[in-house]
């Protein structure tokens, strides 16, 4: 069953409890749909997935303790736990904690980078310094992660204060979905930004999970 975005945002997702699984993918809820899609596409039945609430991204200081708690909770049930997070604003603390716990994690500063491919993302350099990124998940959850947390639903006049230094919104699309593209274009309009569409697919996320096949 496909988890809904509200559940992934607020509550996360416990592992399915596949008795044959030997690897647990401990993921951000914002990546759940994509991880499940890759599992289905590749027949990776030896992998379970558990998700922490996507809303943790609004509070990066809470990511490290949440990951540690989840690893300690599940590690006895799996041969390997792979942490499907980038650094995600933790200032290197998540990588340090994963090393301390003896688990591996995604390479890269955040999902925008590893979806595009870390090397390709870094190559954009200064050309993207004024870009505001949305993944497919964030396109669907724009109000929950951008509009309301910034208070723009109550004070739209703050838009230019928050986004005055941005020039364009970049939709990094994991799937070629015309409906999501239209939503992303509308979000760009609401923010007063130019719109750019990049069909990134799953990027380094697919490569990292494939290495565990």
Q: What's the pLDDT score for residue 174?
A: 98
Whether 19 and 96 map to the same domain: the answer is yes
Whether 10 and 102 map to the same domain: the answer is yes
| 212 within some domain | no
**Domain of residue 11, residue span:** 5-106
Relative to beta strand 80-84, strand 47-52 is unpaired
- Domain boundary at 58, 75, 106, which? 106
| 34 within some domain | yes
Q: What's the pLDDT score for residue 10?
A: 67
CB atoms within 10 A of CB 133: 19
Nearest to 31 by CA among 205, 213, 209: 205
pLDDT under 70: residue ranges of the chain:
1-2, 7-13, 16-21
CB atoms within 10 A of CB 150: 15
Count of structural domains, the chain: 2
Question: pTM of the prediction?
Answer: 0.90
Q: What's the pLDDT score for residue 127?
A: 86
Q: What's the pLDDT score for residue 109?
A: 96
Q: Encode pLDDT of 58-91 as tens digits.
A: 899 999 999 999 999 999 999 999 999 999 999 9
Q: What's the pLDDT score for residue 3?
A: 73
| 167 within some domain | yes
Whether 26 and 98 map to the same domain: the answer is yes
């Amino acid at each position: 069953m496909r988890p809904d975005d509200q559940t992934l945002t607020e509550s996360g997702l416990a592992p399915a409890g596949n008795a044959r699984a030997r690897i647990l993918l401990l993921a951000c809820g914002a990546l759940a749909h994509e991880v499940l899609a890759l599992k289905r596409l590749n027949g990776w039945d030896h992998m379970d997935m558990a998700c922490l609430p996507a809303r943790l991204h609004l509070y990066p200081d809470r990511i490290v303790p949440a990951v540690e708690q989840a690893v300690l909770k599940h590690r006895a049930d799996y041969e390997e736990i792979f942490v499907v997070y980038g650094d995600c604003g933790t200032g290197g603390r998540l990588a340090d904690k994963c090393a301390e716990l003896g688990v591996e994690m995604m390479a890269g500063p955040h999902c925008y980078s590893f979806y595009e491919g870390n090397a390709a993302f870094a190559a954009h350099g200064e050309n993207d310094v004024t870009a505001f990124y949305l993944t497919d998940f964030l396109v669907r959850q724009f109000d929950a992660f951008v509009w309301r947390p910034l208070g723009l639903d109550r004070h739209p006049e703050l838009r230019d204060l928050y986004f005055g230094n941005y020039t364009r919104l970049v939709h990094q699309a994991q799937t070629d979905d015309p409906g999501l593209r239209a939503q992303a274009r509308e979000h760009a309009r609401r923010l007063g930004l130019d719109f750019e569409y990049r069909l990134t697919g799953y990027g380094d996320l697919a490569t990292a999970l494939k290495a565990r096949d």
